[in-house]
Amino acid sequence: MNELAVLDLVLEQELDRNPDLVFLATSTPPSWRTRFGAERVRTCPISEPAMVGAALGAAMTGLRPVVDLNRASFAFLVMDQLVNHAARIHYLSDGSYRAPMVLTSATRGPQQLGPQNEQCPYGVFMQTPGVRVAVPGSATDACALLRTAVRDEQGPVLLFIAPGLADHCDLRAALAAEPQPFGVAHRVREGDAATVVAIGSAVHAATRAGDELAAEGVHVELLDPRTLVPLDLPALAASVLRTGRLVLVDDGPRSGAPAQILAALLDVPGVALALGGRIAHVSAPEVPVPSSPVLEAQYWATPERVTAAVRRLTAAA
Amino acid sequence: MNELAVLDLVLEQELDRNPDLVFLATSTPPSWRTRFGAERVRTCPISEPAMVGAALGAAMTGLRPVVDLNRASFAFLVMDQLVNHAARIHYLSDGSYRAPMVLTSATRGPQQLGPQNEQCPYGVFMQTPGVRVAVPGSATDACALLRTAVRDEQGPVLLFIAPGLADHCDLRAALAAEPQPFGVAHRVREGDAATVVAIGSAVHAATRAGDELAAEGVHVELLDPRTLVPLDLPALAASVLRTGRLVLVDDGPRSGAPAQILAALLDVPGVALALGGRIAHVSAPEVPVPSSPVLEAQYWATPERVTAAVRRLTAAA
Amino acid sequence: MALALPADPAVSPMDPPQDGGLDLVAAYKAMVLIRAYEERILQARTDREVIGPVHPYIGQEAVAVGVCAALQPRDHLVSHYRGHGHALARGVDLDALTAELFGRADGLCGGKAAALVSDPATHLLLSSGIVGAGIPVAAGAAMTSQVRRDGAVAVVFFGEGALGAGVVHETLTLAVAQRLPLILVCENNGYQGATRTEEVYPETSVARIAEGHRMPVHRVDGNDTLAVHAAAAASVAVARAGQGPAFIEASTYLTRFHLQFDRPSGERRPAEELDGWLARDPLDALRGHLLAAGTAPDLLDALHSEAERRVEAAVAFARTSPWPAPELALTNLWAGTP
Amino acid sequence: MALALPADPAVSPMDPPQDGGLDLVAAYKAMVLIRAYEERILQARTDREVIGPVHPYIGQEAVAVGVCAALQPRDHLVSHYRGHGHALARGVDLDALTAELFGRADGLCGGKAAALVSDPATHLLLSSGIVGAGIPVAAGAAMTSQVRRDGAVAVVFFGEGALGAGVVHETLTLAVAQRLPLILVCENNGYQGATRTEEVYPETSVARIAEGHRMPVHRVDGNDTLAVHAAAAASVAVARAGQGPAFIEASTYLTRFHLQFDRPSGERRPAEELDGWLARDPLDALRGHLLAAGTAPDLLDALHSEAERRVEAAVAFARTSPWPAPELALTNLWAGTP
Ligand SMILES: Cc1ncc(C[n+]2csc(CCOP(=O)(O)OP(=O)(O)O)c2C)c(N)n1
Ligand SMILES: Cc1ncc(C[n+]2csc(CCOP(=O)(O)OP(=O)(O)O)c2C)c(N)n1
Ligand SMILES: [Mg+2]
Ligand SMILES: [Mg+2]
């Protein structure tokens, strides 16, 4: 069951819509078991590796499994099944088998879960080919991307959900959201002063920073990639080529998704020259996430940190 | 037992030297069991997660465990024990406990082991704080870094060995190599034309490329970081600031270590401007490694690919 | 003759039982402390003084206390997210534990760990938030004892849910094959979060698994402190003698609930089931023993008020402990780093 | 009366046994083919025609053939790195398999997989190079049958070494709790690479583990094709009827060795042990049965020469198959990509 409750409503609708959809989790809603049966809604022992392996086998033979991994830190329990198997089977079988399956998990919220259970490991999956990675920046996008993921035929999808998305959730809009194609960034605001790329829970902070800067006449372009694999590199590169400034904003460490995005961008002809070093990061330190809220405070991409980064870049040139 | 046989000789010497050193593997040399006893040389069931967990417990209580993971792909089996536990315990206990332990594994050689067992996953560990990562570019460095790793007190070390290092191994020099501090890049050759940073098995190819270019009067600076965590960023940055050109060479995908190194370098003041976009990659494609040697051919950083990249960059400016 | 109240009121690793027996008053005292502590910590969580999730141990006190009473200071311990009970039974400093739960500078782990504490002073290696993951770590500590021939054992606590996790089975294989001095203590409370154990296992007892691994098994009433202690003492003796691991399955029950964040948990158990277990409360049971053996009720009541006083003092300590300096978030990534 | 040689010489998923019995000539034919294939592939590896590691199946043929003869085309199969025998018993195309082992364009997986083949035509899901990892995948296929109520079962082959791996125990728990139509076939050959199984397990039989999970277990002589088949047929019937999984432990032996790369393996087994098993060669045993039942020796000899001819034809096919176009290395990362 999801930290972002509206996703459970979406999943319920999708279970209703597609009889091949099955749900695996260590804890499942009793009402789903009644409604869809224990064969489609499977309460599993605490066996995440086997659950993901089973999801792969089910996907290869025609079902559409969704595994709720609960915490993103549990992704590290299932890496062999996910990376060495699910992500490789289409390639290994040279296209004979496909493995459409979805893994959902929660990243970080101010829940003080500590160094083990507060993590944003999506950057890892940007360098393990064969999985697609969605990190929505709003509850509405989360719902839309979940719908796409469970209807998609292409292969494994990881959906990383920041619990904080619940704070700004327009329930009606979220539930009504149509499936959204992967690989299409959302332009949250337009502008020329700098390109701000924000991910997941950091999108909200970046939006507030954008508003604040706009009030001062500094108009940044704010892009939420929504999916990291595939990444909407054309949109990101076009923006950066235009603004000549890049701020990467994430609640994970910069060695994660930000490093991956940056390296990918620099590979686009002209980007490095356009940027000329005007790159800033607002991200978590390169150490685990501590429990004490006082220690954790500096792990959040706050609007203040984002505006400061933009000001630094715009002042520089 | 290691793909690079000389490492076993080093390990045997170290077992002799330090009674706290213990060795865990699914297959162990019978002579070691006789010599050091079954309590120090542990033949284990095929249970890599438990082996790494046990190594952590042993390390925390005073032993110095070495786990031979055999293939680097098996690192994905032990991520929870390694990333969520071993890499976090010093931090989680606020410095009370330390976990000096070493995991060795083989990356890729032309062995046609296929999409599962030919991998260079070290880039993943550059974004999971708490582990140190050594990827030696020669058998001698492999021996030296293994000695450092098993004598070190600081925490978990991953030692990734390219089987191909055996091809150019000077056995005597390798065995005689003194422990070498982590975080010190090796300048394989000096030059001003471009900075070539090569990793692991790609160092040899880059060396040959450097020789070839030198014969034409193009002198590149070739750096082998030897350890990726910690990374000798000062040495890399100094070189790049001087040459203004960067070629990253690896037998893994560019989303792995190369992306991490690039992002770290760009964070050093002046580097982005000095480079001005003169960045090239010689790396494996962003897809799994296929079995057929004909398909795999393009996954190797050959001297030809390296020289071509250097020529492209030097021609450009 | 009534047993005398120990002079030192601090909870500490209990002395090794001289006669293989258990100091019942000391055990009662420890259980009372845990109970008082857990109730208070839940309140402090509701009051938003404690940070993070709280997994209360209420109802299972006999297991932690019965097992820890069979240990010596040199032994190693591994716990998990529901770990305050184990920590207190082991003698972890009450003030430092509380400050840690409050996220303060004087916390056992400087505010980094919250409930997932480590404590070298009591050989508490770790309290993992990941079900089952600590079990191989305890096996590793047992390897150390084996290499050093120091006669120490390693003990690991876990719920029956951990038997779902593969790494636990791996450790069972390893421990038997290598005759590790490892004692696995399964606190079988019939629930795995919101899931009832019979929903996911063919039989609720997991002794069958340990038997399949050819590991000696003790099945005990986990609400009976003496029974738990006897099983633990026997297992420890075997392990210390180099004769290998043991598995203890203690049947017990969480009389409150699995977990709470900042609001009191809304979890509801079947009333009959709950009542049955409340009637078998481990503190009441041990109190019955003590009274039957002639211990003065006053003495026992005094332990309750003493426990409350100590818990309140710990809360006061935690409250006045400063917040950690923000820059300490970046320290201790690995040894030798700042 | 001698059983007639089937008209079609192609290896194919065998017809479901009409009377629950096994077509012994067809079984012998399949075993002979596997034996001839494995010998030839080892030679081709030494000749550097086959790429990658070769894990020969020689000595264990009765298991693959006995099990696959109990299956229907709709059933699912999971194999591993030592998988040619399973593939051939299941009826995977010999030419395409061989071209795959040669790394060629006409290979079953376009040269990407080498020995780690998949084949949708025969419902062979995958052959994992990671010990134990395919077992939950088979459980997932069993889930599909359960949801679809299509009566199919899933079968997974693995060595006893896989019982070291946690994910296998997880799958046992899952399969029993969810009554999956899953048949786990453990080929217990006493070795796990260079490690003898008694070095790492308290007892070499792993039936005890399945029993601990409350899964029905069949222990059979893995060199006795009929015994294997009977256990498989019984398990399949139970699973098809929706009555849950079963575990078959087949005792057997690799009479050659674990693994070879480009030089013939230098591995040496204890001579007495080896001789004992050679005396119980599964092909000889089945041949004995057939002769005793009156089958003409000529008929059986013809199967041998026929197998050799077919294997040689497959090698010739593989040799003339082109290398894959280099750009195909980048294809099929996920469905819908080029
Ligand atoms: C690997 C893993 N999966 C899931 C969880 C989420 N989780 C936390 S506690 C719990 C239930 C554990 O039950 P049990 O082991 O019986 O211990 P109890 O809580 O009953 O003491 C679950 C599923 C987790 N922490 N770790
Ligand atoms: C997880 C994992 N660990 C280690 C290996 C290396 N390895 C390959 S085969 C093998 C032995 C397996 O023994 P068993 O399961 O009994 O099968 P057998 O080879 O005897 O058929 C090992 C250890 C592996 N492939 N996967
Ligand atoms: Mg429980
Ligand atoms: Mg075997």
Q: Is the CB of C200 under 6 A from ligand 1?
A: no
Q: What's the whole-number mean pLDDT along residues A69-84?
A: 98
A157-161/A132-134 β-pairing:
parallel
Compute the mean pLDDT over every residue in chain C, rounded to the nearest whole number: 94
A227 and A116 within one domain: no
CB of C192 closer than 6 angstroms to any ligand 1 atom = yes
Name B116's Cβ contacts closer than 8 Å, sequence gap at least 6. A84, A85, A88, A92, B73, D116, D128, D129, D130
Instruction: Provide the pLDDT for residue D2.
Output: 33
pLDDT tens-digit map of B166-186: 998 999 999 999 999 999 999
At A316 the pLDDT is 67
- What residues line ligand 2, using a CB cutoff of 6 Å? B 26, 46, 48, 70, 74, 77; D 82, 129-131, 159-162, 165, 189, 191-193, 258
Distance, CA C190 to ligand 3 centroid (Å)? 5
Looking at the complex, does the CB of residue C200 fall below 8 Å from at least one CB of chain D?
Answer: yes
Spatial CA neighbour of B239 closest among B212, B211, B275, B267? B275
Separation between Cα atoms, residue C131 and residue C164, nearest integer Å: 9
Reference D246, options D213, D277, D276, D199; nearest CA is: D213
Atom number of ligand 1 nearest to Cα C55: 19
Of A110 and D257, the structure prediction assigns the larger pLDDT to D257
Q: Which residues of C are less than 8 Å from D165 in CB distance?
A: 166, 170
Give how far Cα C142 sits from Cα of A4, B160, C138, Å.
42, 28, 6
Place of tokens 């599964």: D282
Nearest to A135 by CA among A102, A161, A113, A154: A161
Q: Do B88 and A264 touch (CB under 8 A)?
A: no
Averaged pLDDT for residues B134-159 = 97
A180 in a structural domain? no
Across the C:D interface, residue pairs with CB atoms under 8 Å apart total 61
Ligand 3 center to C321 CA (angstroms) = 34
On chain A, the residues whose CB falls within 8 A of the CB of B254 are 263
Task: Give the domain CATH number at A77.
Answer: 3.40.50.970
Chain A CA closest to residue B271 = A277
d(C-alpha B7, C-alpha C83), whole Å: 42
Position B1 scores a pLDDT of 64
CA distance D149 to chain C (A): 21
- Tell me the CA–centroid distance for residue C182 and ligand 4, in Å: 28
Task: Give the model's pLDDT for residue B168.
Answer: 87
Please give the DSSP secondary-structure letter assigned to residue C324: P
For a mutational test of ligand 2's pocket, the pick from D128, D188, D192, D201, i.e. the residue with the most ligand atoms closer than 8 A to its C-beta, is D192
Q: Which fold has domain D24-265+277-321?
A: Rossmann fold (3.40.50)
DSSP character at residue C316: H
Number of separate domains in chain B: 2
What integer pLDDT is reported at residue D15 of this predicted model?
Answer: 40
**Same domain? A168 vs A194:** no
Going from the Cα of C161 to the center of ligand 1, the distance in angstroms, rounded, reads 6
> Tens of pLDDT along C14-39?
444 433 589 999 999 999 999 999 99
- C-alpha B146 chain-centroid distance: 11
Contact present, D107 and D96 (Cβ < 8 Å):
yes
Peptide bond before residue A230 is cis, with ω within 30 degrees of 0: yes
Of A154, A175, A196, the one marking the end of a domain is A175
Partner-chain residue, chosen from C51, C129, C199, that has the shortest CB–CB distance to A117: C129
CA of D69 to the centre of ligand 3 (A): 43
Do B206 and B159 fall within a single domain?
Answer: no
Taking CA atoms, B288 is separated from A87, A127, B241, in Å, by: 9, 11, 34
Instruction: Please give, one letter per residue, the 3-state secondary structure of C190-220.
Output: CEECCEEHHHHCCCCCCHHHHHHCCCCEEEE
Average pLDDT of B98-123?
95
- Domain membership of residue B240 (yes or no) is yes
Q: Are residues A153 and A274 in the same domain?
A: no
Q: Which long-range contacts (CB under 8 A, 24 or more apart) does C304-313 make?
A: C304/C32, C304/C36, C306/C9, C306/C29, C307/C29, C307/C32, C307/C33, C307/C35, C307/C36, C307/C37, C308/C36, C310/C9, C310/C33, C310/C36, C310/C94, C311/C33, C311/C36, C311/C37, C311/C40, C311/C94, C312/C40, C313/C95
Q: Is A93 on the interface with C (CB under 8 A)?
A: no
Among the candidates B175, B201, B225, a domain finishes at: B175
Beta pairing, strands C154-159 & C182-188: parallel
Shared domain check, B216 and B126: no
Residue count (chain D): 338
For tokens 């199919």, the residue is D152
DSSP chain B: --SSHHHHHHHHHHHHH-TTEEEEESS--HHHHHHH-TTTEEE--S-HHHHHHHHHHHHHTT-EEEEEEEEGGGGGGSHIIIIIIITTHHHHTTTS-----EEEEE---SS--HHHH---GGGGGGSSTT-EEE--SSHHHHHHHHHHHHH--SS-EEEEE-GGGGGG--HHHHHHPPP--TT--EEEE--SS-EEEE-TTHHHHHHHHHHHHHHTT---EEEE-SEEES--HHHHHHHHHHH--EEEEEEEETTTHHHHHHHHHHTSTTHHHHHTT-EEEEEE-SSPPPSSHHHHGGGS--HHHHHHHHHHHHHH-
Indicate if A81 and A213 belong to the same structural domain.
no
Q: Among the three residues A122, A153, A175, which one is the final residue of a domain in this structure? A: A175
Q: How far apart are CA B258 and CA D78, in angstroms?
A: 36
What range does the domain containing A210 cover? 186-315
Chain C interface mutation, best of A113, A294, A299, highest count of C Cβ atoms under 10 Å = A294
Q: Identity (one letter) of the amino acid at D203?
A: E
What is the pLDDT, as a whole number, of residue C4?
A: 34
Report the pLDDT value the prediction gives residue A1, as an integer from 0 to 100: 64
Residue D13: per-residue pLDDT? 37
* Closest by Cα among A288, A115, B125 to C331: A288
| Cα–Cα distance, A115 to A99 (Å, whole number) | 32
Nearest CA to ligand 2 atom 12: D192
CA distance B187 to B196: 10
Whether residue D136 contacts residue D167, with contact meaning beta carbons closer than 8 Å, is answered with yes
What is the residue whose two structure tokens read 């109802």?
C59
- Side-chain-side CA neighbours of residue A85 (13 Å): 36
Do residue B146 and residue B29 come from a single domain?
A: yes
For residues C319-327, give the mean pLDDT: 98
Do B202 and B285 fall within a single domain? yes
β-strand pairing of A132-134 with A227-229 = antiparallel
In tens, the pLDDT along C122-135 reads 999 999 999 999 99
In a domain, A90, yes or no: yes
Q: Which residues of D touch A62 (CB under 8 A)?
A: 144, 148
Residue extents of the structural domains in chain D: 24-265+277-321
pLDDT along chain D (338 residues), means of 10: 33 40 96 98 98 98 98 98 98 98 98 98 98 98 98 98 98 98 98 97 98 98 98 98 98 97 93 98 98 96 98 98 97 88
Q: What is the CATH number of the domain that holds A260?
A: 3.40.50.920
- Contact partners, residue B74, CB within 8 Å, separation at least 6: A80, B48, B105, D130
What does the alpha-carbon distance between residue D204 and residue D187 come to, in Å, rounded to a whole number?
12
Claim to verify: residue B203 and residue B230 sit in the same structural domain: yes
pLDDT digits (tens, 9 = 90+) for B35-68: 999 999 999 999 999 999 999 999 999 999 999 9
What is the structure's pLDDT at A151?
97
B166 and B227, same domain (yes or no): no
Looking at all shown ligands, the one closest to residue B117's CA atom is: 2
Determine what percent of chain A falls in helix, strand and coil, rounding each to the nearest 5.
45, 20, 35
